Structure 1
Amino acid sequence: MALPVRDQMKYWGIAAAVFLALLYLLGNVILPFVLGMAVAYMLDPVADRLETWGFSRIAATVVITLAAAVLFVLVALLVIPTLIKQATDLVNIAPELIDNLQNFLTEKFPVLLDQTSQLRQTLVKIGETIQSKGGELLSGALASAMSVFNVLMLLVLVPVITFYLLMDWDRMVAEIDALLPRDHAPVIRRLAGDIDRTLASFIRGQGTVCLILGTFYAAGLMLVGLKFGLVAGAIAGALTFIPYVGAIVGGLLSIGLALFQFWGEWHWIAAVVGIFAIGQFVEGNILTPNLVGSSIGLHPVWLIFALSAFGTMFGFVGMLVAVPVAAALGVITRFAVLQYRDSRLYQGLSALPDDDES
């Protein structure tokens, strides 16, 4: 006999409370494990494909680990130093950009920007705030990153955890499946499959789209000679996982920088606009349909809320688990709505046979 619904809700509620409590109390401790699990989840299809080519699971894991290590070293040596330098320079040059904006507005609208006008004082304060607070924010973020992702975690712990999780991923999934309550195993498997497809669509597919577009934007902006093009391209690519946000934020930043740098050279400004127009065309017509597909996705508003809520409550670890939790809650909510629509509570007397109504 199955457990009553009230008891089931109680047990699942206790499990959710324990999960949130552990996330809050052990945030930094479980960070490398969460990262390792996320990386292993993303690489599991690659390992499965290598197995179909005749590799053993151990050999496939070793090959993936070596390839990832080489790629990480190349990125660390070639991209990260330039990215940090450009980000720092962009923060430091912000007051000069604000001064250029003031001069432009003064030339075009002299009445609005006299020495005592509120708009001019606001622009001056914005530039000073960006320079002072922006530098502190950047250095604080780097210091925090170094304290959280210390050398042991970054170079040893996370790769080791990823290696073992990736090697045993299929066995762990089978063990979890064997522990499912028998009465509800089919439904749980179906929901887990929907959650997996959502995550695969979003994390693997959208992550690949972000990487491709970020590389394209950064390379294109640097080729046209835009200062801080690498930073603008990286921001646009990183925010692409939220529809339209990456293109809007990255595009406005890049076009704004282009206006200051190439003022009067309209062909270069048009080239910057063209880069983002091409990127949006390729994303909407080629990348997203082929890499993300039409499977169940995450609504942008729900995703932003999940990232904000979990990030505020649990810090960086909360932001890492926000996407899978949001996907799981979305799938469960859709399932609950379908159950509700099939219930007597929703259908009322219309769900009764004609004989019962009479």
Structure 2
Amino acid sequence: MKKQVNFARPIFLLLLVLTIIVMAAVFKVTSSVFVPVTLAMLISLVFEPLIVTWNQKFKIPWVICILILLTLVIISVGVIGSLLLTSIKTIVDLYPKYEERFMTIYKTIADIFVLPYNADDSLFQNLWSQLGVRQALQNYAFSLSNSLIGFLKDLMLVTLFSLFFLFDLRYLRQRLEYAFEGSSKGKLTVMITDIIQQVTRYMSVKFFISLLTGLIVLGGTIAVGMDFPVLWGFLAFILNFIPNFGSIISGLLTSVFALVQFWPHPAPVIFVALLMIGVNFILGNFLEPKIQGRNLGLSPFVIIVSLSFWGWLWGFTGLIVAVPMMVILKIVCENVSILYPLAILMGNSTQPVTVDPQPAADNTVPNSAETGEKNGPLQNE
């Protein structure tokens, strides 16, 4: 007798791959819709613990907490925006000064590497003749202007979505318990609760560590007398949301500008470079993991691939949401039996998650820290 082959698993995996491709195409085409919604959800998860604290500790009504928080955010964004616009305007006004500094540095480099140098041409004319970067700079400037216009256009949408999602978060967990009835109710509610808890913790810790990074960079650049300290602090805050690469880019940009401003004096440049390295190293490698607690369990390779994928999909916003999206995907894979091997491959440990096939007996939804990650994968019916 011929042995019967079960094609259910290969067919399921094939359909899963095709579904992922179709969803990626949909997310790419409809990015103008999904990007503001995703940002609003993540921002809401950042501020939810603060609202809960105000509500429980100070007995402030949930609605009043949201309105106070919204007012503070609008004031902060307005102040930071005006300071950034002032810094950019000042940069434009002082451009001749910095071009002269750039020309001095470029002449030194040209003398060292025996590059052609024409004193009658401007800096960019010399660079364009040597490196051919004119078209690249034009394309980058056009792309940056479009991104800024798009960001300003989406800012109101993100604020509005965040407001309504914060109102909705108050009863979200209760609705989840009512929504998923049946044998899988316990597992589904635990999975979704775990997603909310992990993403909320990650985004909250990342937000406040990034804010602390920006404030330290702001204070350090003010102390050394560097121009546009608000701009460098803001860049450190924003780019710190991008794992691994964001802090490197921020440090390089700030250090290069310090070199241009303080040339040929090395002491302030060394101070700024050490400041950027020290802040990102201490906060990123010691303070953040200590506050974060349980590791997110993602492989460094998975993080890099996710940054590439989500960056291609949604640009700069994709780089920010890449890690939370992969955390959500990993938790889903941990709780679905046929996808459980993917969760192990995505992890950074050789120890698989121990499973408990029995759902919670009561109506209380335990979190992952209380259960010690004993929540097993959902069995396919």
- Normalising by structure 2, we get a TM-score of 0.68
State how 1:331-342 maps to structure 2 within 5 Å.
Answer: 331-333=331-333, 336-337=340-341
Q: Structure 1 330/165 Cα, relative in aligned 2: closer, same or farther at 3 Å?
A: same
CA contact (8 A) 1:32 1:158 kept: yes
Distance in 2 (alpha carbons) for counterparts of 1:211 and 1:255 = 20
Give the whole-Å Cα distance in 2 for the aligned partners of 1:147 and 1:273.
32
The Cα offsets for residues 102-144 of structure 1, whole Å up to 9 and x where unpaired, read as 322345x36x33569xxxx997238876676446534542344
Q: Deviations over 1:281-330 (max 9, x none)?
A: 64157631454334325445433422332332455665565343211223
State the match for 2:223 in structure 1.
223
Q: Is the 8 A contact 1:298 1:327 kept in 2?
A: yes
Match in the other structure for 1:346: none
Residues 74 and 255 (structure 1 numbering): CA distance in 2 closer, same or farther, change over 3 Å?
A: closer
* Alpha-carbon distance in 2 for matches of 1:324, 1:259: 36
Structure 1 match to 2:261: 261
Instruction: Give the Cα–Cα distance (whole angstroms) in 2 for the partners of residues 148 and 73 of structure 1.
Output: 14
Counterpart residue type for residue 142 of structure 1: S
The aligned counterpart of 1:81 is 85
Structure 2: tracts of 5 or more residues without a match: 1-7, 119-123, 346-351, 355-381
Change (3 A) 1:94 1:333: farther
SS of residue paired to 1:55: coil
Q: 1:260 and 1:330 mapped to 2: Cα distance?
A: 45
Say if 2:35 is the partner of 1:34. no
Deviation, structure 1 residue 165? 1.5
Contact 1:88–1:138 (CA under 8 A) maintained in structure 2: no
Q: For the structure 1 residues 101 and 30, does the alpha-carbon distance in structure 2 shift closer, same or farther, using more than 3 Å as the test?
A: same
Distance 1:40 1:342 in 2: 29
The 1-side partners of 2:250 and 2:53 are apart by 35
In structure 2, how many angstroms separate the alpha carbons of the residues matched to 1:235 and 1:61?
A: 27
Which amino acid in 2 is paired with 1:47? I
2: CA distance between counterparts of 1:129 and 1:82?
A: 32
TM-fit CA distance, 1:22: 4.7
After superposition, the C-alpha distances for 1:320-346 in whole angstroms (9 at most, x for unaligned) are 653432112233455614889799xxx
Q: Secondary structure at the match of 1:113?
A: coil
1:55 aligned to which of 28, 51, 60: 60
CA distance in 2, matches of 1:137, 1:342: 45
Is the aligned partner of 1:174 residue 2:212?
A: no
Aligned twin of 1:45:
49
Match of 2:270 in 1: 270
Q: Which residue of 1 aligns with 2:305?
A: 305
TM-score by length of 1: 0.72
Structure 1, unaligned stretches of length 5 or more? 344-358
The structure with the greater share of residues assigned to helix is 1
User: What root-mean-square deviation, in Å, do the aligned CA atoms of Structure 1 and Structure 2 show?
Assistant: 4.3
Q: Between the two proteins, what is the percent identity of the paired residues?
A: 20
Residue 169 of structure 1: how far off its partner (Å)? 1.0
Whole-Å Cα distance in 2 between the matches of residues 212 and 115 of structure 1?
Answer: 43
